[in-house]
Amino acid sequence: MKKKVLVVGGVAGGATAVARLRRLDEEAEIILFERDPYVSFANCGLPYYIGGTIAERDKLLLQTPESFKNRFNIDVRVHSKVVAVDAEKKEVTVTTSDGTTYSESYTHLILSPGAKPFIPPIKGIDMPRILSLRNVPDTDRIKEMVDLQTTKDVVVIGGGFIGVEMAENLIDIGMQTHLVEAAPHILAPFDSEISTMLEDELTKHGIGLHLGKKAVEFTEKEDRVTIHFESGESIDADLVILSIGVQPDTQFLVNSGIKLDERGRIITNEYLETNYSNVYAVGDAIMVEHHVLSGKAHIPLAGPANRQGRIVANNIALKQRERFNPVLGSSILKIFDLAAASTGSNERALMQAGIPYQPIYIHPNSHATYYPGATSLTIKLLYHPETHVVLGAQAIGENSVDKFIDVIAMAMHFNATVYDLADAELTYAPPYSSAKSPVNMAGFVARNIIEGLMPHARFEEALNLDLSKQILLDVRDDAEVKALKLNHSIHISVNELRHGRESELDKSKEILVYCAVGVRGYIATRYLLSKGFKVRNIMGGMKLASGYNIK
């Protein structure tokens, strides 16, 4: 029987699915419904068009209904909103922009409706100067507003990926920009000591940060919006952009017979089938298994959506039962001169999930320091203290952040242990990396801890000393100590320690050692251990200080 495949939603997962499907099955009838005027647009590029980095609007449109028709013989219907699905009758109901409503039957249905901006029920939130960003028309609307001579300042509410990218792009076009986040820190995929570094980058570039501020009301006066916070404070702006989060755009499925969870997300099995085996769902509207955390996760990212679209096409056309594997949530974003990336779980989520973990920090250079242009990165790696399996990694820096996190993500696909990272054989030449890659270094540090070679302390411990029992020892050089040091620290450089000055230390106390990145601290720790001291090295060293607001 000839297949008739209907697809709801023409971006990422949906667009991938139809192209793959046609390549696999020339005979199938394929109809793609999109409520908006555009399909297959560059979702992740929208903020950069507003900011002018992407200069031509046409670049946002990867495919058009015409290109899909010409190349793939896909019947793309834009301005066509699927308003209902009857999974028993295998039929969808479609409303077009001119008000016409009609039904279309299917043998297979692919749901790729995506997620829409979450608009909380806050008083005044529906005023026209409060916009949100999902699609090309939204982008046009925001661009039109910021292009007005009268628009001078903008408040972005929500410090997730889109909010932060939006704020950066608003700075790029000269807007006075504020970013409001209800949580204590922006960018939930990162732990707070890393997100603090990202916040510093935003502040450095002139973004007004308002952390831990919850908007409770919006009022308008003389073409300006005032955002009132729960704290009683307020700020005002010519324009407000909401990017508080997303929710699945699945209202049309409520009476379809297709199972949704309590938050409206489509429930699928590992083959991306819903409770109807001829109905599949992909993208931002579904839940997926998390590779590290047990249970389901919501990962609204382009990468998984695209791979899901491909798998669904395979499963329909090739009669395969191909599985969509659990996700790591690998993600990256540019923040001005920095990149920040993560994969797997962060410390906060591991703690919540009750999974034992050990963090380590390294601050390697992007490539050999003797070759020009090397820049510093911070990498936080989390692993399981018993199994030694890598649980997650976060990195921030100017260069090679994507590379090192991608390598770790690839390793995590195989449930790598830190020993695998230590043994990784990656490419090296001076312009690209170091003979001991940062990935190796992360493995080496973790091994030193596992093998009992490096008793370790967290940076927090240096800030919460019991001076009756502990000594804080700074083993850096004079100039570094002069620039910034921790309270209550005493200073003996690592080399001096070996040459007679260890005798200045009280053997009855525990010594917490620190340096800039942790390497000299480790050397000092090893030396003092050999001399019978009780000593621990503060992981990450002073390069973490800014993450604890010590500047």
Site for its own copies in 386-425 (CB under 8 A): 400, 402-403, 405-407, 409-411, 413-414, 416, 420, 422-425
Which of positions 32-51 make contact with its own copies (CB under 8 A)?
42, 44-45, 48
CA distances from 249 to 81, 112, 270, 284, 316 (A): 12, 9, 21, 9, 24
Site string for its own copies, 154-183 (x = CB under 8 A): -------x----------------------
Residue among 2, 28, 34 at smallest CA distance from 15:
34
- With CB under 8 A, what is the number of residues at the site for its own copies? 89
Span interacting with its own copies, options 95-103, 243-251, 260-268, 363-371, rule CB under 8 A: 363-371
Tokens 């009855």 correspond to: 508
Binding residue (CB under 8 A) for its own copies from 141, 152, 384, 436: 436
Backbone dihedral angles phi then psi of residue 240, each to the nearest 5 degrees? -120, 130
- Six token digits for residue 163: 């909010």
Binding residue (CB under 8 A) for its own copies from 84, 173, 183, 426: 426
132/434 with CB nearer its own copies: 434
Strand partners, 537: 456, 513
* CA 378 to the chain's CA centroid: 16
- Rounded to 5°, the CA angle 307-311-312 comes to 120
148 is a site residue for its own copies (CB under 8 A): no
Binding residue (CB under 8 A) for its own copies from 523, 539, 542, 544: 523
305 is a site residue for its own copies (CB under 8 A): yes
> What's the min distance (Å) between Cβ of 417 and its own copies?
11
515 is catalytic: no
Q: Residue 125: which residues within 8 A CB-CB, separation 6 or more?
A: 119, 218, 242
Question: Residue 43 — left, alpha, or beta (φ > 0 → left; ψ -120 to 50 → alpha)?
Answer: alpha
Which value, in Å, is the radius of gyration of the alpha carbons in the chain?
Answer: 27
Which of positions 65-94 make contact with its own copies (CB under 8 A)?
70-73
Binding residue (CB under 8 A) for its own copies from 26, 88, 98, 262: 26
Q: Is 81 exposed, middle or buried (0-12, 13-18, 19+ CB in 10 A)?
A: middle
250/343 with CB nearer its own copies: 343
365 is a site residue for its own copies (CB under 8 A): no
Cα–Cα distance, 532 to 535 (Å, whole number)? 9
Pairing of strands 176-181, 296-297: unpaired
Q: Is the dihedral of CA 323, 324, 326, 328 positive or negative?
A: positive
Which of positions 308-327 make contact with its own copies (CB under 8 A)?
310, 318, 325, 327
> What's the min distance (Å) between Cβ of 74 and its own copies?
11
237/401 with CB nearer its own copies: 401
Binding residue (CB under 8 A) for its own copies from 444, 459, 514, 533: 444
Query: Other C-beta atoms within 10 Å of 66: how many?
Result: 9
> What's the min distance (Å) between Cβ of 372 and its own copies?
6
Strand partners, 510: 470, 534
435 is a site residue for its own copies (CB under 8 A): yes
Binding residue (CB under 8 A) for its own copies from 53, 64, 95, 275: 53
307 is a site residue for its own copies (CB under 8 A): yes
Query: Other C-beta atoms within 10 Å of 478: how many?
Result: 9
Type of residue numbered 315: N
Residue among 101, 57, 97, 77 at smallest CA distance from 10:
77
Which of positions 330-359 make contact with its own copies (CB under 8 A)?
330-334, 339, 341, 343
Site string for its own copies, 525-544 (x = CB under 8 A): -xx--xx-------------
Which string of DSSP letters, residue by residue, matches 5-42? EEEE--STHHHHHHHHHHHH-SSSEEEEE-SSS-SSB-
> What's the min distance (Å) between Cβ of 128 and its own copies?
29
What's the full length of the chain, in residues? Answer: 551
301/481 with CB nearer its own copies: 301
2/221 with CB nearer its own copies: 2
Cα–Cα distance, 144 to 157 (Å, whole number)? 19
> What's the min distance (Å) between Cβ of 124 and its own copies?
33
Which of positions 3-22 make contact with its own copies (CB under 8 A)?
12, 16
Supply the DSSP symbol for 260.
B
242/405 with CB nearer its own copies: 405
Binding residue (CB under 8 A) for its own copies from 316, 439, 512, 515: 439
Binding residue (CB under 8 A) for its own copies from 86, 430, 450, 509: 430
Which residue is catalytic, options 4, 42, 44, 410? 44
Residue among 541, 519, 385, 542 at smallest CA distance from 452:
385
372 is a site residue for its own copies (CB under 8 A): yes
Catalytic residues: 44
